[in-house]
Amino acid sequence: MAKIDFGGTTEEVITSDEFSIEKARDVLKDETIAILGYGVQGPGQALNMKDNGFHVIVGQRDNSQSWDKAIDDGFVPGETLFSIEEAAKRGTVIQYLLSDAGQVVKWPDVKKCLDPGDALYFSHGFSIVFNDQTDIVPPDHVDVILVAPKGSGRTVRTNFLDGSGINSSFAIHQDYTGRARERVLALGIAIGSGYLFPTTFKNEVNSDLTGERGVLMGCLAGVMEAQYNLLRKNGHSPSESFNETVEELTQSLIRLVAENGMDWMYGNCSTTAQRGALDWAPKFRDAVAPVFEDLYESVISGKETRRVLEANSSPDYREKLQVELDEIKHSEMWQTGTAVRSLRPENRKK
């Protein structure tokens, strides 16, 4: 496996150069991979493995949108599409990709279906690390492994289709068979990971929950809204406010960061932008540092997981969620975003 220097710290990474798709196929040649849940991560991982030539079946609740989506994606009821319990019985690798709250509800049924030597696979450390809240404690006779793509399920699929892949972490919680490492690496390559890097279930869930609530989603949405509102309050038009807050970031600057890093982005902007960004970045860093401290403490204490389980277990959760999403969708800022996106050249051609 490759050893890479990350800013002075050497870490192990695994790519398809070290662990080829052919090797993955050989490791998993006798396995039936059961994807339980076809909501967020399920479709991307299932379709990528199917396209890569692995034996994949799907377990999903009948008469649901996700069941119908699985059919639309080519899975056949009674052949490759089953109830959650039936798929769990048939699988030798059980990829437990229901929502975190859904995993809690279905665990008693799924646990009964685990045979000695099966692999129980997660894409999030939530249920195992916070088992005092979830009651998910795997039996001793299975491998318990994790592959966590660093992106949405949709991106897992789109990156696979364009040939780029998406980076994933991997972890082993329990190695009953002695084959857990080769299984988890094979599965990580099978789902189309760009490269794999090691973690633990605990580190994965703590970093993931922090990232989602922080820079990746919560913080990003919050600071965008703050800047947009400030510009509007000071007389700037909706279009100007949105372009200076969101459009330039997503369509230009973040792409420069993705290519070669933050310093390279600075180096390819105007001298005025460079100076201002370099001067103000430490002020923003120091201003939000206490918020991140509070966030991390909330994550590691289990407060965030309790909140998730309580909210997502509510029978009217989806209805309440839609109200919150509609509030964002219909705000001036994101209505402006819809209009701005429609003016992109690629969208005007449609």
Q: How far is CA 155 from CA 214, 261, 262, 325, in A?
A: 19, 21, 23, 20
Task: For 259-309, write each residue's pLDDT tens digit.
Answer: 999 999 999 999 999 999 999 999 999 999 999 999 999 999 999 999 999
Longest dimension (CA), the chain: 67
What is the mean predicted confidence (pLDDT) over 15-32? 95
Residues marked active site are found at: 124
- What pLDDT score does 132 carry? 95
Model confidence at 10, in pLDDT bands (50, 70, 90)? confident
Question: What's the topology of domain 2-199?
Answer: Rossmann fold (3.40.50)
Helix (H) or strand (E) holding 48: helix 41-51
The predicted pLDDT at position 350 comes to 62
252 secondary structure, DSSP code: I
Count of helices and strands (H, E) across the chain: 20, 10
The fold of the 211-348 domain, in CATH, is N-(1-d-carboxylethyl)-l-norvaline Dehydrogenase; domain 2 (1.10.1040)
- Average pLDDT in the 128-139 region? 96
Cβ count near 47 (within 10 Å): 23
pLDDT of residue 128: 96
C-alpha neighbours within 13 Å on the C-beta side of residue 60:
27
- Whether the pLDDT of residue 164 is over 90: the answer is no
What is the full DSSP assignment across 85-128? HHHHHH-SEEEE-S-HHHHHHHHHHHHTTPPTT-EEEES-SHHH
Distances (CA, A) of 290 to 213, 215, 284, 303: 14, 14, 11, 17
- The rounded distance, in Å, linking the Cα atoms of 173 and 96 is 14
> Does 148 score more than 90 pLDDT?
yes
List, for residues 170-219, the tens digit of each pLDDT value: 999 999 999 999 999 999 999 999 899 999 999 999 999 999 999 999 99
Residue 22 pLDDT > 80: yes
**Banded pLDDT at 1 (limits 50, 70, 90):** low
Domain edges within the chain = 2-199, 211-348
Residue 293 tokens read as: 């401290």
pLDDT band for 254, please (50, 70, 90 cuts): very high
